[in-house]
Amino acid sequence: MLSTKNKTWVEISRSALFYNFQTLQKIVGKKVKVALVVKANAYGHGLAEVVSILKNKTDIFAVDNIDEAFIIRKIDKTVKVLILGYTTKENIKLTIENNFSFVVYSLDILRYIISLKLRKKAKIHIKIETGLNRQGVEGKDLIKILSFVKKNADRIFLEGVYTHFANVEDTLDSSFAQKQLKRFKDALKIVRTWGFNPPLIHTAASAASFLYKESHFSMIRAGVALYGLWPSRETRIALKSKNKNISLKPVLTWKSIVAQVKIVRKGESVGYGRTWISEQTSKIAVIPAGYSDGFDRKLSNLGRVIVGGSYAPVIGRVAMNMIMVDITHIKGVNEGDEVVIIGKMGKLEVTADELAEKIGTINYEVISRINPILPRIIV
C-alpha cells in the first residue's frame, strides 16, 4: 500500500540525471560547453525540478520562451539562460534587461532592439538557415545583419552563432547533415571575416553530439539524451556501426494508484463506446490517469501498465482522467496499490519508446505532453 496524497505523479531520478549529464560531458570533452535544454517543462520532467538539480553543473540552460527563462532566474540568479524560441517584440525589453540571451534572425528585430535605447547590451545568437527551413538567417541576408551588429556594437553583443540539423535522427545517411555543416562553416567564415569571434558556436543537439564530433564546436545543446532517452532507433544503430558504446538512464517514472478493483461479468462492456467486451468473468482495476494527464487516447485497448508485479493491458477507451486495466491474471491487487505507467517495477518496464511506437509518434512527444500540473517528485 502506497501512502501518498497524489493520485498520479512523476518521479525524477537525481542520479540518472547526473549520470546522463556526465555522459554527455565525457563525449564532448572539457573544452565544449553543454547547454541543457529544459524547454517544454524540461521535456515533461519538471522545469523547476531539473534546474534545481543541475543548476551548479552547467554553464547555460536553453529554453523556448521568456516565461521559462524567468522560472530559471528565480531558482538561480546567475546562470546563463538562452531563449531558443521566438521572442515577441513586446518581450524583448524584458529579455535584455534580465540578461537573457536570445535568438535573432532578422534586421527588423535588430532595428527594434536599437530603438529601445536600453543601457544594457542585447546578447544575441544569430541562427543560420542551413536546410531545416524554420527560423533562421538566409545566406544572402547574413552580411546585412553582421554589418548592422558591427555598427551597433555598443548596444548589441554577438554571443553566439548556430544552426539546427534537419535529418540526423531519422536516417543512417549523413549526407544532408554534412551539407548543412558545410553551409554553416561557410557562414561562420563570413562571421569571422567581419571581425566577430562569438564565444558560443553550436550546431549539435543530442543525436549530432553522439555521432559527429565535428559538429560540437564550442557548445552542444543536450535535450532528449539528458533525460535518458535516445533521439531515435537510427541513432543507436549508427553508434553501433561506429563501435561507440554509450548508455543512458531514463530519468522519468510516471506512477499512479489503483482507485478501485471490480468484477466485470462475461458479456459486459468497459468504458465509453463499449469497445471492450469481457469474454469471461474478469477483474479490472480503475486507474485515475487519462488523456488530460498525458496518457494518449490512442492507447485505448492498446497500452499497458505495471501493477502487482505484472503487466496489465488497458481495456476500453482512455477517458479524460481514467483508464481501466485487466488484472484478472494478477493476484492480490488492492485499492491504493502503486501502478507504473512509464518506468520500471522490478524486472518489468514500460518505456516512452514503447508508448510512442504504439501511437505512431516519438518519445519526445510522449514525455513532453505529461500534464505539467502533475507533481514532480525528485527521488
Fold entry, domain 252-350: Lyase, Ornithine Decarboxylase; Chain A, domain 1 (2.40.37)
Is pLDDT at 140 greater than 90 in this prediction? no
Residue entry with cell 548589441: 156
Specify the pLDDT at position 242: 80
Q: What is the mean pLDDT of residues 355-372?
A: 97
pLDDT digits (tens, 9 = 90+) for 125-139: 999 999 999 999 998
Q: What is the mean pLDDT of residues 99-119?
A: 96
26 among known catalytic residues: no
Q: What is the mean pLDDT of residues 239-264?
A: 93
Which CATH code for domain 14-241? 3.20.20.10
Specify the pLDDT at position 126: 98
pTM for the predicted model, two decimal places: 0.93
pLDDT digits (tens, 9 = 90+) for 42-56: 999 999 999 999 998
pLDDT digits (tens, 9 = 90+) for 294-335: 999 999 999 999 999 999 999 999 999 999 999 999 999 999
- Is the fold of 14-241 the same as that of 252-350? no
C-alpha–C-alpha distance, residues 379 and 373, integer Å? 18
Q: 3: pLDDT confidence band, cut at 50, 70 and 90?
A: very low
Cell of 278: 469481457
Catalytic residue among 39, 80, 127, 255: 39
Helix ranges (H only) for the chain are 14-28, 39-43, 47-54, 66-75, 89-97, 107-115, 139-151, 175-193, 206-211, 233-241, 352-359, 363-368
C-alpha–C-alpha distance, residues 200 and 58, integer Å? 14
For the chain, which residues make up each domain, given as ranges? 14-241, 252-350
Residue entry with cell 561557410: 186
Catalytic residue among 144, 150, 262, 272: 272
pLDDT digits (tens, 9 = 90+) for 165-219: 998 888 888 899 999 999 999 999 999 999 999 999 999 999 999 999 999 999 9
Specify the pLDDT at position 240: 85
Specify the pLDDT at position 5: 75
Is pLDDT at 4 greater than 80 in this prediction? no
Q: ∠ at Cα 334 (268, 369), nearest 5°? A: 80
> In the chain, how long is the greatest CA-to-CA distance?
79
Specify the pLDDT at position 222: 96
39 among known catalytic residues: yes
Q: ∠ at Cα 347 (290, 223), nearest 5°? A: 60
